[in-house]
Structure 1
């Protein structure tokens, strides 16, 4: 099945129903529903701004979005992005806020629902762990386990959580980093959100170099390519297909001039690259998108391919 992210089509002011109609007409069967699109659609329904923490109201809004999707034969494949959950000190206001958001998002996931054979994953970008920290058990919300643990009653599907690496993150920039966490937690409803851009962006490419590839002293560009190929072979032979919940697909332009190193407007170079240089494949990018796709398919995965572009 093929999906597309709602925030990757149109503009921030394009009405959500217009986006959904366009995606349905183009032949997509699913969507990644973005939280900003929920807020934008809600503001048109109620003619006022919508609070991102008014979960009863957000449930009403997403119930209507569910109806819009049903009318267009679209599955809400995923709700996202749910970031900055882990790593907060116990007892901190940030940690308490993270759990409140998780509880609220669980209710939204139920409201926006899918057909009975489907479960809703959301991506949780793991980027705040220190190397010394032990992953929580399970990482998605021990206090919310009635909502996230696999149910005893088979008539009720569990919600799923898909971990995604960000190629600019401090502690989990690679696919192997998030797989290590998912493997350590060992829960049937916690898996991976793999991404062609994030995968190649962490181990193959660098927007701050003249070549656009990772450049290290004493390491040839051919060796960089060989190492990436070896990483993809490890992915193919190591990751169980059932642990991959989706593959997000996009390419990247090689920035000309190359991006400056250091933080600009609060973003590292790869973050800036991710936010503005990501076309669909075969539209002028240079990443080994097919190589990532072949590795993922080589695991036996036959699930969602989802377009996520920022161009």
Structure 2
């Protein structure tokens, strides 16, 4: 495998509205070769199977077995399980210990799904609940990496910056953490939206961009090529976003009090690549070319999406999203690979 298209299960529709097996079928039918399983989808599948609104660990593992079987039947690989949220850098160390117990279950789930990768988004809890001490953050992540290394087969962890994460909000900061963790099974997920969404774009600004967007992105991409070890890039997600007609500030339809503008933007208004009819505007190709041609990345390319369109009702939603995603992949193949 040099490059293969993947998609996240949640990108095909909301868990409580759209059946996971049907989403897997539509992903395979469209031509995807891999899928990221979103834990929420797994949780809802376990509820359906067990009839229990609070599924047990046994229920979750049983659902994972069924999802694995469904993926095998469709010839589609589970490339990762995500997102293991709100873990690293907690000031509440009792909560950190509880999450270590949760990770024990996630490691079993990963094995049942037949995947070797768990994704951890950088923490975005309020600053007062977190430390910005990189040594503490790295130590927490090293702890789960060592748990994964003890598994057979070894489980990897893909750490991802979110453009609204409290402290680790750029790929540069993720890379610094990865170096400090210093474990062979701990690396990165690089996401074009989350990279561009921090250094280049600003949905709260009337221009949709940061003050020195192009120059800052160019320097950032040059640093990436010089600094990053491509073996630490476990997989990539390519995704664009809508330019807001008006700044995403109080009064905007997507604004949520207490929620960063970039998070509200992400949850409502991402698009697949090349969807100019949906006002896609990020420099996604520039970032993807840097990762693929500059770093030499080879592997799965996940066509990820979060959008208000995923919450629409109807069976057509997974079909439509799968079709949109594979259309983006085909253009990406022609333009970038």
Q: TM-score, normalised by structure 1?
A: 0.88
Query: Are positions 1:283 and 2:275 aligned together?
Result: yes
State the alpha-carbon separation in 2 of the partners of residues 170 and 120 from structure 1: 24
Superposed CA RMSD in Å reads: 2.1
Query: Where in structure 1 do 4 or more consecutive aligned residues deviate above 3 Å?
Result: 126-133, 135-141
Matched residue SS, 1:139: helix
Structure (1 or 2) with the greater helix fraction: 2
Post-superposition CA distance 1:136-158 (Å, at most 9, x none): 5653363783x41266xxxx321
Matches within 5 A, 1:217-232: 223-232=212-221
Post-superposition CA distance 1:195-225 (Å, at most 9, x none): 000000010000011110013xxxxxxx431
Matches within 5 A, 1:76-115: 76-89=78-91, 91-92=93-94, 94-114=95-115
Match of 1:237 in 2: 226
Post-superposition CA distance 1:97-127 (Å, at most 9, x none): 211211111111111114xxxx323234244
Match of 1:140 in 2: 141
Match of 2:29 in 1: 25
Matched residue SS, 2:241: coil
Match of 1:121 in 2: 118
Post-superposition CA distance 1:225-257 (Å, at most 9, x none): 112111011112211111001111110111112
State the alpha-carbon separation in 1 of the partners of residues 132 and 88 from structure 2: 13
Unaligned runs of 5+ in 1: 216-222
State the alpha-carbon separation in 1 of the partners of residues 215 and 159 from structure 2: 26
Match of 1:269 in 2: 261
Match of 2:9 in 1: 6
- The answer on whether the counterparts of 1:261 and 1:268 sit within 8 Å (CA) in structure 2 is no
Post-superposition CA distance 1:74-93 (Å, at most 9, x none): 1110101111011223642x
Matched residue SS, 2:240: coil
- The answer on whether the counterparts of 2:137 and 2:177 sit within 8 Å (CA) in structure 1 is no
Q: 1:203 to 1:186 in 2, by over 3 A?
A: same
- The answer on whether the counterparts of 2:138 and 2:177 sit within 8 Å (CA) in structure 1 is no
- The answer on whether the counterparts of 2:89 and 2:133 sit within 8 Å (CA) in structure 1 is no
Match of 1:45 in 2: 49
State the alpha-carbon separation in 2 of the partners of residues 278 and 190 from structure 1: 27
State the alpha-carbon separation in 2 of the partners of residues 192 and 167 from structure 1: 15
1:159 aligned residue (155, 169, 182): 155
State the alpha-carbon separation in 2 of the partners of residues 103 and 58 from structure 1: 13
Matched residue SS, 2:42: helix
Matches within 5 A, 1:186-197: 186-197=182-193
Q: TM-score, normalised by structure 2?
A: 0.81
For CA contacts below 8 A with separation 6 or more, give which structure has more relative contact order.
2
State the alpha-carbon separation in 2 of the partners of residues 66 and 14 from structure 1: 18
- The answer on whether the counterparts of 1:247 and 1:305 sit within 8 Å (CA) in structure 2 is yes
Unaligned runs of 5+ in 2: 308-337
- The answer on whether the counterparts of 1:126 and 1:163 sit within 8 Å (CA) in structure 2 is no
